[in-house]
Structure 1
């Protein structure tokens, strides 16, 4: 069970990813005792927001009031910390930022001085100096809280941006890998596992997987879409043969649908080329009747360079079979599948919420109540998805060896453990998908289409 940020407050400018107090549960939803109770019966995952803290935090408010005289001055990163001798235009242009514009926000403090604070994401998310004692102590405090309250998996949010160094792009540096090593070891020593949340080139995911307990397979969602849009499984098969096995697979999350994870980056070729990425994005926009275009890029205040804001269901044109097929591929891919609540109920784009907030990601962050959930549970596509979830959780072969074969429009994904096996054979061109189970000499076959009956 992954609980999205439950810290004080849950309704900040970035839905809890900008904590005012990372060590405190928002009192409107509960206490640490409630978190502890949930963790007794479930593996519980929580976010460690590594890179930043809210500008509304008492620490940063003290800095604004006192400037360098604040006891919390060292906690926050400024341009001067990384570029003490000044920064050239070329150095600024080299910095990788997930959103357009500068990563620095000038703010005037109570000592009369204006300082350029590092704000990788928004001006309400002030970057932490993770190299100094104050930054280390801040994150240690949160880790200790997690450990004491039955959180046993830590999602390292935005960890790829944590280390900044002059003359680099300040993203996923060699030093960052070392930092992830140490952070993961620290969590392990407290009895917790770590999972890295990093959108980057696919080879980076392979490299990061060696440093932490698990990584997200963010390349999978766009590759499944590409296969369905083009009736071709070649790129998907290439990835499944080299993807990390210690991964968490997703199609949708509380963020948008990542794109750069499958594409080229700089001189590095991607699993998809630039033209294929463009086609992928435009097809998603078309399938959603251009709703996703209204929530993506400069069209909404939550501007991101690497994702399309849309439900996965609408990215597939609300086609029940294609959606169920995409989930079947996810469940047969290596790793532990995670299903986002909006995806579980095959939710469509929430245009009303988007219009209300003008925050792009809100298109895929629906507010649900018991009546809406009950209605969704009666939809054939949701019933079919639940059957697939049961199969993935219960079939013993998924604990065995994985293999992937095929080419062009056909692919076969198989799991085998001793005398038992389960396979998914897909022909994208004819839109047929068969799940075959073998137990010794007994064989049974399920047509995926029948789950929608």
Structure 2
């Protein structure tokens, strides 16, 4: 994976038209000379582009994980994009659509279906039946039980394992059918030039009676096996886990790459409470094999900096619980109450541990502070990713939220070509692109990182590589800041945030 900033985007929401040419259009936007984003990014994470992109969970419930949705283009278009940029794609490890050919065949034929072993049922985990206590032990970030009572088309009644929604049927990943299904996805990706994959929902993939069914030792074993298979095909693996921060550290020691999901709320906390204490606590212990983010297609994680729910006293969070509660309220206030309409039980949102809001609106549309937040992201060790809405300093899409009643859609705007061209002329976007280019091109970021000691209110970050250096200093209490760096001529220069 290149040590350069990557873009995260849906293919059809960044200048797309769903006319069969969206992938080709995205390639031109990111690489054609003269295009607004030409040469800005070293890689791109394409959010689900599989058939179909508009299911129950915006593509995270694929009907056919090995087919590009024809409204976007085809595998030739993916391969053409990989010739220009590093491309990451999702492997939805835990489940597939209830509309998939495999599940439809199983529903019609039951145990006579060749796919009968592909789908996980309650008795596949609890062959002797499950007690109330055992079911309540299963960790789930959404309300309700992780199973769905279903009557198949052939009249048989089954209790299916459905970690997320009844439309997303969990896969029996250790069954030969499950292994073959996932291996087929990896092989298709490798054949088309994809060299990075994100394991979506992998923390839930292994189920075990009497346990939490989340990030167990057996889960790590599965991740290791899958990553080994991917590595043999030349593919790196990113694990996506929202959890208590110390668990993230443990996970990072066992995988190729993890997300730094603690960073977004900690940055917001630093600006909101005018202190760097939480950030500096995290910087001292955080894993460096991380993809740094401030925003993604999901919400802003709260669980990632809070106390461990299993023992809040023995395992406190990175910020005090009262400040965490206040932070959520301050995000709602900064967004003029818009995020409240998309968070918690609002708008059919089930991810109760996340606040749904664009990052720019979560910061009250303060352009200077927003750019400073990006500078913090880019200065931390790891590979930065910028979400397409965040790239364009996007606002909450209340019209889309009202229309879909899906909380996360507040931060999943559909941009047409005219909006992209216009937004790329906004000063905050132009400065962000300049900052991305500085992070990609300056030699210091290929060297050594340090966070020199400083006062509680001050964050001081520095990179050096030979004679090259870059330094960021933010005093959250005083509201002062500076980003300076060496020049090729041997002098120094300052980055202008406004």
Shift of 1:231: 0.7
Match of 1:254 among 297, 303, 312: 297
Greater displacement, 376-385 / 143-152? 376-385
8 Å CA contact 1:302–1:361 kept in 2: the answer is yes
8 Å CA contact 2:372–2:497 kept in 1: the answer is no
Match of 1:78 among 118, 121, 140: 121
Change (3 A) 1:325 1:88: same
Matches within 5 A, 1:144-293: 144-265=187-308, 266-267=310-311, 268-293=315-340
Greater displacement, 225-234 / 110-119? 110-119
Matches within 5 A, 1:341-360: 341-360=388-407
Shift of 1:388: 0.7
Shift of 1:414: 0.6
Structure-1 residue corresponding to 2:38: none
The CA distance in 1 between the partners of 2:124 and 2:455, in whole Å, is 51
The CA distance in 2 between the partners of 1:178 and 1:85, in whole Å, is 25
Structure-2 residue corresponding to 1:421: 469
Structure-2 residue corresponding to 1:8: 51
Change (3 A) 1:259 1:283: same
8 Å CA contact 1:419–1:440 kept in 2: the answer is no
Structure 2 residue runs without a partner (length 5+): 1-43
The CA distance in 2 between the partners of 1:146 and 1:270, in whole Å, is 38
Deviations 1:57-91 (A, max 9, x none): 01111122222222211101111111111111111
The CA distance in 1 between the partners of 2:379 and 2:300, in whole Å, is 20
Structure 1 residue runs without a partner (length 5+): none
Matches within 5 A, 1:376-395: 376-395=423-442
8 Å CA contact 2:120–2:161 kept in 1: the answer is yes
Shift of 1:256: 0.8
Match of 2:167 among 124, 147, 154: 124
Structure 2 residue matching 1:451: 3-state secondary structure: coil
Shift of 1:441: 10
Greater displacement, 64-73 / 182-191? 64-73
Task: Establish whether residue 330 from structure 1 lines up as the match of residue 377 from structure 2.
Answer: yes
The CA distance in 2 between the partners of 1:294 and 1:387, in whole Å, is 34
Shift of 1:445: 4.5
> RMSD of the TM alignment (CA)?
1.4
8 Å CA contact 1:436–1:443 kept in 2: the answer is no
Structure 2 residue matching 1:65: 3-state secondary structure: helix
Structure-2 residue corresponding to 1:371: 418
Shift of 1:440: 9.7
The CA distance in 2 between the partners of 1:145 and 1:328, in whole Å, is 37
8 Å CA contact 1:403–1:414 kept in 2: the answer is yes
Change (3 A) 1:361 1:400: same
The CA distance in 1 between the partners of 2:297 and 2:240, in whole Å, is 12
Structure-1 residue corresponding to 2:497: 451
Structure-2 residue corresponding to 1:435: 483
Aligned residue pairs, count: 450
Shift of 1:289: 1.0
RCO (CA 8 Å, sep 6+): is it higher in 1 or 2? Answer: 2
Change (3 A) 1:127 1:321: same
Task: Establish whether residue 109 from structure 1 lines up as the match of residue 152 from structure 2.
Answer: yes
Match of 2:460 among 397, 412, 417: 412
Shift of 1:373: 0.8
The CA distance in 2 between the partners of 1:125 and 1:193, in whole Å, is 26
The CA distance in 1 between the partners of 2:85 and 2:480, in whole Å, is 36
Task: Give the alignment's TM-score, normalised by structure 1.
Answer: 0.97
Task: Establish whether residue 94 from structure 1 lines up as the match of residue 137 from structure 2.
Answer: yes
